[in-house]
Homo-oligomer: A and B are copies of this chain.
Amino acid sequence: MKKGHQITMKEIAKKLGVSVSTISRALKDSPELHPETKRKIVEMAKEMNYQPNLLAQSLRISRSKTLGVIVPEITSHFFASCISGIQDTANTRGYNVMICQSNESLELEKANIRTLVSSQVDGLLISLSRETNQFDHLYDLYNREINFVLFDRVNEEIPVSKVTFNDVGGAYQVVKHLLEGENRRIVYVSGPEDLYISKKRKEGYLKALKEFGIDIDPTLIFKSDLTTEGNIEVAKAIAEMQPRPDAVFCMIDPVAVDVLTQWKSVGIKIPQDMALAGFTNNPTAAVVEPPLTTVAQPGYEMGKLAVSHLLDQLDGIASDDPISIVLETTLVPRKSSQHFDLKK
């Protein structure tokens, strides 16, 4: 053991093979635990020279009644909806909310955490930046026993609660819908490969193809950097394929809207020439011509659930043991995919 190293509840938990929350409850002398269990834990804590984290304790006792939220970008309708859900629920429970934007930058995400922690927030709700590929700043929060919940863009290793969507299921639903519309050569336009949703939605795409007995054709998988320029390039490349694919499923709506705009400008008819679908159900998806088939992700609901769980943990209603909440998505079929039955 390093000199000056401060023992955490996590280490005691590991030593005894029980959960951090059990340790926490034992040290708080919770009546929920068997006296014998409590005795063992308290003895081990003494033996390991456990010092309760006074900072974390004082944070828990003298509540600021403020929560911190970190999202990759506020301009995204989806994250704005999550924030609304978080704020409405937090306000109802007497908490105020401060929001920081990481602008998809790991450095800014770290700076945001420092800013919010030094503002003495009671807990944090974090959706990770696109760049976040190392997680020391999150383990640091964890070791300091500052409560936080990850949502939408999560890391699977960190032992805290997470709220995510069933991305595989959503992508499967929409690709199945395209397959049922007699489309066979279906393109998937992915985002950057290290993005959690790029992987998960591709999984759903492949699952649906497999179910319909269709072989994977790697030339049908495109990748965009998610900028408008990148999306337009992909739209052009797809239009030039010989023969043209039957349908295109884009990882997120903004990509599909850019594809739609580019195709319309060169006279490609949707859905007659190619069917098109997105994912997210942004407000724009409903008003483009033709309206875009997509998958609805209830962002407001996600925000509500994430903050409710965090507040339940802070109030001792929920245990500190990490849980995973997975929300289902809903297929929203619109005109852009319905060439098989335009009279519907």
- Which residues A133-173 have CB closer than 8 A to chain B? none
Q: A98-B116, A101-B87 are in contact. Are A287 and B75 (CB under 8 A)?
A: no
Interface string of A68-95 (1 = CB under 8 A from B): 0000001101001101100110010000
Is B100 within 8 A of A100, CB to CB?
A: no
Tally of this chain's copies: 2
Which of the segments A5-13, A17-25, A29-37, A107-115 contacts the partner chain? A107-115
Q: Which residues of B are found within 8 Å of A289, using beta-carbon distances?
A: 288-289
For the complex formed, measure the closest distance between the CB of A62 and the CB atoms of chain B, giving whole angstroms: 12
Of the residues B91, B99, B284, contact of A283 by C-beta under 8 Å: B284
Within residues 275 to 320 of chain A, which ones have a CB less than 8 A from any CB in chain B?
Answer: 283-284, 287-289
Alpha-carbon gap, A66 to B99, bound state (A): 12
Neighbour of A115 across the interface among B75, B98, B118, CB < 8 A:
B98
Task: Indicate if the CB atoms of B101 and A100 lie closer than 8 Å.
Answer: no
Q: How large is the interface on A (under 10, 10 to 19, 20 to 34, 35 or more residues)?
A: 20 to 34
- B87 engages A103 (CB within 8 Å): yes
* A101 partner residues in chain B, CB cutoff 8 A: 83-84, 87, 97, 99
A91 touches B108 (CB 8 A): yes
Residue of B whose beta carbon sits closest to that of A96:
B115
B residues less than 8 Å from A80 (CB atoms): 74-75, 80
Instruction: Name A84's contact: one of B75, B83, B98, B283 (CB within 8 Å).
Output: B75
Q: How far is the CB of A242 from chain B (nearest CB, A)?
A: 29
Smallest beta-carbon distance A125→chain B, Å: 14
Known contacts: A118-B64, A287-B287. The answer to whether A96 contacts B112 by CB under 8 A is yes
Contact of A98 among B64, B88, B99 (CB under 8 A): B99
Q: How far is the CA of A255 from the CA of B119 in the complex (A)?
A: 39
How far, in angstroms, from A84 to B284 measured CA to CA in the complex?
20
User: Mind listing 19 A-B residue pairs with CB under 8 Å?
Assistant: A66-B115, A66-B119, A74-B74, A74-B80, A74-B99, A75-B81, A75-B83, A84-B101, A88-B103, A91-B108, A96-B100, A96-B115, A98-B100, A98-B116, A99-B100, A119-B120, A261-B287, A287-B288, A288-B288
Given contacts A83-B101, A87-B103, A288-B288, 12 further A-B contacts (CB under 8 A): A64-B115, A74-B84, A91-B108, A96-B100, A96-B108, A97-B101, A98-B100, A119-B120, A261-B287, A283-B284, A284-B284, A287-B288
